[in-house]
């Protein structure tokens, strides 16, 4: 008996390219010829496919496949992508365990096969360009805004047709939700910080710095220099911000005017007279003004 009578297989005579699976006939042959070892069966059915499916709650994550040249990475990805976009090839899988697991993803995806060679394009540009081209092939008109002029994380809406990708119907883990909330809070804090810095940079507002107490001014100037909010935001810091950003009114005070009001004829005065004259003088300075938003400055 010869070995050829015991073992039959279809030889792979060329390097498999991932995009070969874009052709239906080639894709079917790739699925039918994929030999699945026991170890690969376990990895596909217990690791890879559970992360691809979205019908059952699962902590889905992206998967990075690493292997040396010629170890079957492209063949495996061709098989997975073909099954994901076409349920008809499911019976061609040679392993019954993988076939059963793959039923959860079979024919439920639109697949874009993308290979990246030597290029100077940014990864985001490579992906968005491929997405635009394939979406157009599927009859969907969508263009991503220029990454240098538009924050896709903050506003992913298409500026041309108003389309906004929805996450409805996709099971999202609590960890992913918390990570997203943390990211959103970080963006809000960054936005608030920049807004405060912009307001404090206004020449009109900077004119109020001289109306603050020394400690208050030190806190505000420290924030401007650091360009970051303090780890612990105290009531004193908040009050300092409130005062410097409010419509403070400056009232100049000359010592000669104060002396003339307290000692009109230059003669000694009683404490009671001194107090009354001082209060009368201050009330005159504040006439028609909000005392809470007024600062008397000695000149």
Mean per-residue pLDDT over the chain, rounded = 81
Largest CA distance in the chain: 135
SS3 253: strand
100 band by pLDDT with thresholds 50, 70 and 90: very high
Average pLDDT of the segment spanning 117-138: 86
d(CA 163, CA 156): 9
- How many alpha carbons lie under 13 Å from residue 226 in its C-beta half-sphere? 11
pLDDT tens digits for range 31-45: 998 889 999 999 999
Are 98 and 43 in contact by the 8 Å Cβ rule? The answer is no
More confident residue, 218 or 117: 218
Q: How far apart are CA 184 and CA 169, in angstroms?
A: 21
**Residue 103 pLDDT more than 80?**
yes
In terms of Cβ atoms closer than 10 Å to its own Cβ (0-12, 13-18, 19+), residue 76 is buried
- Tell me: pLDDT of 168 over 60: no
CA atoms within 13 A of residue 117's CA, in its CB half-sphere: 2
pLDDT digit string (tens) for 47-95? 899 988 887 777 888 888 888 887 888 899 999 999 999 999 999 999 9
pLDDT tens readout for residues 272-293: 888 888 888 888 888 877 776 6
The candidate with the shortest Cα–Cα distance to 28, out of 70, 73, 85, is 85
Query: Are the C-beta atoms of 208 and 200 separated by less than 8 Å?
Result: no
Secondary structure element (H or E) that encloses residue 107, with its range: none
Reading the block at residue 250, the tokens are: 């400056």
The pLDDT score that the predictor gives to residue 54 is 81
Contacts of 140 (CB under 8 A, 6+ apart): none
**Helices and strands counted in the chain (H then E):** 13, 2
């Amino acid at each position: 008996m010869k070995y050829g009578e015991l073992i039959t297989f279809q030889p792979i005579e060329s390097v498999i390219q991932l995009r070969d699976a874009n052709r239906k006939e080639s894709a079917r042959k790739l699925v039918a010829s994929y030999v699945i070892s026991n170890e690969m069966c376990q990895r596909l059915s217990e690791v890879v496919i559970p992360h691809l499916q979205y019908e059952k709650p699962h902590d889905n994550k992206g998967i990075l496949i690493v292997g040396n040249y010629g170890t079957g990475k492209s063949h495996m990805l061709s098989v997975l992508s073909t099954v994901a976009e076409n349920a008809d090839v499911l019976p061609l899988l040679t392993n019954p365990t993988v076939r059963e697991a793959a039923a959860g993803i079979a024919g439920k995806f639109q697949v874009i096969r993308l290979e990246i060679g030597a290029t100077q394009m940014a990864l985001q540009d490579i992906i968005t360009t491929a997405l635009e081209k394939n979406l157009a092939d599927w009859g969907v008109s969508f263009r991503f805004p220029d990454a240098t002029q538009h924050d896709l994380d903050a506003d992913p809406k298409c500026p041309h047709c108003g389309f906004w990708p929805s996450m409805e119907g996709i099971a999202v883990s609590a960890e992913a939700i918390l990570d997203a909330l943390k990211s959103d809070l970080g963006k809000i804090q960054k936005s608030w910080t920049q807004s405060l810095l912009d307001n404090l940079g206004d020449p009109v507002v900077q004119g109020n710095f001289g109306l603050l107490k020394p400690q208050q001014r030190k806190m505000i100037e420290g924030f401007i220099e650091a360009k970051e909010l303090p780890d612990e935001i105290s009531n004193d810091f908040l009050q300092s911000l409130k005062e410097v950003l409010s419509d403070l009114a400056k009232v100049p005070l000359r010592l000669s005017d104060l002396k003339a009001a307290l000692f009109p004829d230059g003669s000694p005065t009683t404490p009671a007279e001194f107090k009354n004259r001082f209060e009368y003088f201050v009330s005159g300075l504040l006439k028609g003004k909000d005392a809470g938003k007024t600062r008397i400055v000695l000149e």
